[in-house]
Amino acid sequence: MKMLRYFLHLVQLGLIYAVYLVDDLYKNHLGFMRNVSFYSHKVEANTFGSKLYLLPVLLVVITFLLLLKKRSVENVVLLLIGLAFLIWQLAFTLQTAPIYYLVSGILFIGFLLQLIIVLLKRS
């Protein structure tokens, strides 16, 4: 179990690198930029895109409930990731950050990995 937690932490560090990689790909590869722009505007026009801010709100509430039961470093990190995801959703838009939905997905995956770590630590 301990090795799995370390592996998941390494994957989370890789996700931080993925944000920079996606940004670099967006700035330097025209085909990637076109695909990201096309699908981002398609998601934004969908009803899911306008309600996406509810997901981090729900995740932060779940994190507070877990934090009330047991305070640990992993739970605090989970709360920080959830708050970062919520701030990203509320502070930025597709017009200010063209890779808005890609970064949102990366933050969501990072949150889910940290949630798995918290749940593994509890059992």
Comparing 53 with 103, the larger pLDDT belongs to 103
Report the chain's mean pLDDT, rounded to a whole number: 90
Q: How many residues does the chain have?
A: 123
Q: What percent of the chain has pLDDT over 90?
A: 61
Position 48 confidence tier, pLDDT thresholds 50, 70, 90: confident
Q: Give the pTM.
A: 0.90
Mind listing the pLDDT tens digit for each residue in 60-113? 999 999 889 888 899 999 999 999 999 999 999 888 999 999 999 999 999 999
DSSP string over 44-110: HHSHHHHTTTHHHHHHHHHHHHHHHH---HHHHHHHHHHHHHHHHHHH--TTT-TTHHHHHHHHHHH
